[in-house]
Amino acid sequence: MTSVFLTGKDISCDPQRVIVSKTDLRGNIIYANDVFINISGYCESELLNVNHNIIRHPLMARGIFRFMWEQLKKDNEFFAFVVNQCKNGDHYWVFAHVTSTKDIHDNINGYYSVRRMMPEKLKPTITALYEKIRATENGLDKKRATKASYDFFVQYLKNNNIDYNAYICNLYRASI
């Protein structure tokens, strides 16, 4: 379970280091590399066979994750800027690339996530967008909050004629 307090401390690691994890179909972690283990503050035994949302930070809008799962279930790759929470309440921002993994019969059997530290100069842009999305969740239970922020986010993309992955990748490329 994630910590119940937030320190407000934004941490980072070497931007060349890659944070890697693999999950099963339900999002339970089946592999975590040393970089992931170290930055999260959890030991490997605390991460394995636990849902990846153990590091979900409350600043992340639920609708973003619903959007991610919809893309992954269609076998689409997914890119996102994500803020994760460490065991001690610190947090860190990443640029995440999530893809499905498949068995020898081409059936999806899990997910693979590769993350790098998010460029510092993108934090104000992404934080402002996520605050707008997250505001739609206020006062709602988890299910209704997820739907509200998802609907807002999808409408935001449509209103601005944005292809989500192209938008996220272009922001990342322009900032490195």
Q: Does the pLDDT at position 33 exceed 70?
A: yes
**What is the percent of the chain with per-residue pLDDT over 70, rounded to a whole number?**
98
Q: What is the Cα 81 distance to its own chain's centre?
A: 6
Q: Which helix (H) or strand (E) holds 33?
A: none
pLDDT category, 2, cuts 50, 70, 90? Answer: very low
Look at the pTM and tell me if it is higher than 0.85. Answer: yes
Mean pLDDT of 9-15: 91
144: its two tokens: 């209704």
Q: Report residue 87: phi and psi, to 5°.
A: -55, -35
Domains defined along the chain, listed by start: 19-175 (3.30.450.20)
CA 135 – CA 75 distance, rounded (Å): 29
Chain mean pLDDT for the chain: 93
CA 78 – CA 65 distance, rounded (Å): 10
Residue 155 burial by Cβ neighbours in a 10 Å radius (0-12, 13-18, 19+): exposed
pLDDT in tens, 73-98: 899 999 999 999 999 999 999 999 99
20: its two tokens: 């890697």
At 4 the pLDDT is: 59
Q: Is 41 left (phi over 0), alpha (psi -120 to 50) or beta?
A: left
Helix axes of 142-159 and 62-73: crossing angle, nearest 10 degrees = 70
Is residue 80 within 8 A of residue 168, CB to CB? The reply is yes
**Of 19, 12, 6, 34, residue with least CA distance to 90:** 6
